Homo-oligomer: A and B are copies of this chain.
Amino acid sequence: MNKREFKDKIYGELAKVTKAMGNPHRMEIIDLLAQGPFPVEQIANATGLSIANTSQHLQTLKHARLVQITRDGNFIRYSLAGENVYNAWAGLRELGMVYNSEVDKVVKDFRKGFNDLDPVNADDLLKMIEKKNVVILDVRPEEEYNRGHIHRAISVPLEQLGDRLKSIPKSKTIVAYCRGPFCLYADEAVATLTQKGYNAKRMTEGFPDWVQKGYPVEVETTK
């Protein structure tokens, strides 16, 4: 193998992995799988794809070793192959948000529609936790909260928010978070809370980013 063949081989392999990521649906799937394992049907529902199409995209990701499967009864659950997958994905996300002003603009414009201005980021939230003047709401589905959540966050899945307002104190700042910067659960929660008179904000990032930064979490102990 000469030098050129060596380079062709190496960059070829890297390009394969990158290509496997370089599709809108697969980007969304990776973002979702960062929350943990999901069966094909749920992935299809979340992304609006057909089951067969979802399966094909998952095969593409699997061949590139970006996702792995675990069998659980009748279901096959897909999850990310390791933390490097999320790291790489987050790197691309940052790239998109910094240099492609359209992405940033669309996100900001959409949040305006929820009256969700002045969000806090993960570093802000960490400081607020130290000062103990904040209530943190995890508004993802309960299953995802159970797999792991921000230290001292309470689980209030978006569908239950209306019923559980009385347990949320108006005297403190409320920070809601969800799956990631493109997940809208937290925005919807903030819209509801603000309307009811709460001082509520969303955290711009999601739980996986909190984990990536090494900030305090509680994780599922069993299994």
| Contact between chains at A182 and B87 (CB < 8 Å) | no
With A13-B102, A15-B23, A22-B21 in contact, is A182–B7 under 8 Å at CB?
yes
| Contact between chains at B10 and A66 (CB < 8 Å) | no
Segment of A91-99, A147-155, A202-210 in the binding face: A91-99
| Contact between chains at A96 and B182 (CB < 8 Å) | no
| Contact between chains at A87 and B82 (CB < 8 Å) | no
Interface magnitude class on chain A? 35 or more
> Contact check: which of B22, B25, B87 meets A18 at CB < 8 Å?
B22
Residues in chain B near residue A17, CB distance under 8 A: 92, 95-96, 99-100
Dominant secondary structure at the A interface: helix
Using a CB-CB cutoff of 8 Å, which residues 1-54 of chain A contact chain B?
1, 3-4, 6-19, 21-28, 31, 48
Task: Report the bound CA distance from A81 to B13 in whole Å.
Answer: 24
Residues in chain B near residue A91, CB distance under 8 A: 84, 87-88, 90-92
Copies in the complex: 2
Q: Tell yes or no: A172 within 8 A of B by CB.
A: no
Residues in chain B near residue A19, CB distance under 8 A: 19, 22-23
| Contact between chains at A87 and B95 (CB < 8 Å) | yes
Q: Tell yes or no: A107 within 8 A of B by CB.
A: yes
With A92-B88, A95-B85 in contact, is A13–B103 under 8 Å at CB?
yes
| Contact between chains at B1 and A24 (CB < 8 Å) | no
Task: Report the bound CA distance from A142 to B26 in whole Å.
Answer: 42
Residues in chain B near residue A14, CB distance under 8 A: 24, 27, 92-93, 96, 103
Q: Tell yes or no: A196 within 8 A of B by CB.
A: no
In chain B, what residue has the closest Cβ to A99? Answer: B65
Residue from A81, A103, A184 whose CB has the most chain B CB atoms within 10 Å = A103
| Contact between chains at B15 and A18 (CB < 8 Å) | no
6 A–B contact pairs at CB < 8 A?
Answer: A6-B110, A9-B106, A17-B92, A21-B22, A82-B98, A87-B95
Residues on A lying within 8 angstroms of B by beta carbon are: 1, 3-4, 6-19, 21-28, 31, 48, 65-66, 81-82, 84-85, 87-88, 90-96, 98-100, 102-103, 106-107, 110, 182, 184
